[in-house]
Structure 1
Amino acid sequence: MSDSVSIALRFALYVDLMLLFGVALFGLYSLKGQERVSGAVLPFRSMLAGTAVLGAVLSVASMVMMASAMSGETDFAELRPHIEMMVFEMDVGLAWVVRIAVLVVAILAVMLRAPGFSLWIAAFAGGVALSSLAWSGHGAMDEGNLRIWHFTVDILHLLAAGVWLGALLAFVLMAKINALQTEARIRLLARAVSRFEAIGAAIVVVITVTGVVNYLFIVGPKLDEVFLSTYGILLFTKVVLFAGMLVLAALNRFHLGPFLERSLRDGQYTVAANALRRSVVVELAAAVVIVGLVAWLGTLSPEMDAQ
């Protein structure tokens, strides 16, 4: 039961912080001027403040669960010294403190009536908070230079995934039926899709390279033994889903995006807009499942699982 709760907490925290970082960044590279005002295109204030608050709550719950798992205590009075020890004496505790601090900064920033500045601060805070999750992963078991390189790869992987997940949610919200009532809103969606093309290509490269390197860090250059284990099955499922996302991303890039632009010129854009919406919804669903698999994989040891 505790393992299931731990995985659920990791999953929720991953999704939450990825969205905080990715949605804030989306507002910076896809929107401009008054489009960044909360509610003009996307409800930035409620989304970013909500994810920041939820991230802090989930982080506290995660720390309590981690301390309970390490100490075997369940009573909070008995658990408190163990939590204090983790927070003040362990690297994972320092990462947790930094995460809570930047989430508070993000909450304060989105309350400001300066959309561009608020998004910059929220994106930075979200990126730092998301990066702090690397200290709860497999990289924390390494030592010396290997530890530094593993953390670097994990952080790049997390940030790239956050950009992708945040963009997908933004596209889904922008492509809602009731949000596409005017040609101006559909043109805005088409422009956002076009602006994401180069960023999306970079994301795919970063996720692919860091994923391969991370596998080598954790497992090494071997396949047969690993893919017969639970860890290997979950990893294989993740790779298959990622490949499916690449197919959908290519469909959006080379067919649905240009189709929407052509439809706008012809004045018949309903079919193209609906097709794009369905594609990004499926892609978002696949991304969420992948994050769930990552949360589960982070609790497994390939060596112990193989045994």
Structure 2
Amino acid sequence: MTLDAVVAGNRLLHYLALMLVFGSSVFLWKIAAPGLRVQTDRRLTLITRVAALLALLTALAGLPLQASEIVGSWQAAVDPAVLQKLLRTAIGQTWLFRMLPALLLLALSMLRQPGRLRGVVIGSGVLLASLALSGHAAMDQGMRGFLHGANHAVHLLCGGAWLGSLLPVLLCLRLLADPVARGDASLTLRRFSNAGHVAVAGVLLSGAINTMLVLGRWPTDWSSPYQLLLSLKILLTAAMVGLAILNRYVFVPRMKSAAPAAIASIRRSTLIEICLGMAILALVSVFGMLEPA
């Protein structure tokens, strides 16, 4: 396996873990009906703990892998001299800054109190937004750099809220078959539908601004690997938006007259959304390492 593949794989796992923790915690904290929160939280506890641990481990691996990538040798990952030099750079300082919320996130995820959700949302949100410090937005300086970084952070948070919420949505769909939980599950799905509009709009708007800030135009030169992969990301995002619209305005209204078929359709399209979201993160993990040209 090549060094670039390992770096991209580590980035992908980090994105997936963080977005799962952030999105599912936002869902439980602000969207889930009170009567459903504890039950859904219990089902997601192990998954979010594993994801928080994975987020920490992949964050820890980030600096050694970056050292290897810069030097072009695996040995740089364990070379104290190289790592010390890298720690004195902006890359190293960003890595150190991100370690605190990563450790805090893991600690909070291990707690059992329901009140921990706010802390988990904040910890995972800070860690997710801090990815903007080391992306293409970090190339800009001054006010433009600040605005670019802030916009990228919004893009990450909206994407995490959207993609990370899809797993608890699947759990809520299963609870629609439970006469006791059906009312709370329906309320939760309506809340998610409304909040989803904000998250999707945020992803699209901030994504368009990011593209303009990085390239200054739409990615139409497919001879450039960066622009080709970015175009694929835009295409897959459009497909996710299409599925979300289909769920909200076609399948959800059908739940009143043909509930089982509508629920099955929503479940299928949600699973496809998750797969598309993972494919998007895989693309980002690769073209985020490329020179934007």
Q: Same fold (TM over 0.5)?
A: yes
Cα pair distance change 1:11/1:182, threshold 3 Å: same
Deviations 1:190-222 (A, max 9, x none): 222210122211112211111111111111135
- Percent identical among aligned pairs is 29
Taking the TM superposition and a 5 Å limit, the aligned residue runs for 1:210-229 are: 210-221=206-217, 223-224=219-220, 226-229=221-224
**Correspondence for 2:71:** 71
CA shift, 1:44, in A, is 3.4
**Correspondence for 2:271:** 281
CA shift, 1:223, in A, is 4.7
Q: Which consecutive unaligned segments of at least 5 residues does structure 2 have?
A: none
**Correspondence for 1:256:** 251
**Correspondence for 2:27:** 26
TM-score, scaled to structure 1: 0.87
CA contact (8 A) 1:103 1:129 kept: yes
Cα pair distance change 1:181/1:206, threshold 3 Å: closer
Q: Which consecutive unaligned segments of at least 5 residues does structure 1 have?
A: none
**Correspondence for 2:146:** 148
Q: State how far apart, in whole Å, the 2-side matches of 1:78 and 1:161 are.
A: 34
Taking the TM superposition and a 5 Å limit, the aligned residue runs for 1:29-178 are: 29-33=30-34, 35-37=36-38, 39-40=39-40, 42-75=42-75, 79-87=79-87, 89-115=88-114, 117-176=115-174
CA contact (8 A) 1:95 1:135 kept: yes
**Correspondence for 1:232:** 227
CA shift, 1:81, in A, is 2.5
**Correspondence for 2:5:** 4
Q: Secondary structure at the match of 2:283?
A: helix
CA contact (8 A) 1:73 1:79 kept: no
CA contact (8 A) 2:125 2:157 kept: yes
Q: Secondary structure at the match of 1:302?
A: coil
Cα pair distance change 1:253/1:222, threshold 3 Å: closer
Q: Secondary structure at the match of 2:112?
A: coil
Cα pair distance change 1:166/1:145, threshold 3 Å: same
Q: Secondary structure at the match of 2:80?
A: helix
Task: Output the amino acid matched with 2:55.
Answer: G
Number of residues of Structure 1 aligned to a counterpart in Structure 2? 292
TM-score, scaled to structure 2: 0.91
Q: State how far apart, in whole Å, the 1-side matches of 2:98 and 2:203 are.
A: 23
Q: Secondary structure at the match of 2:165?
A: helix
CA contact (8 A) 2:22 2:161 kept: yes
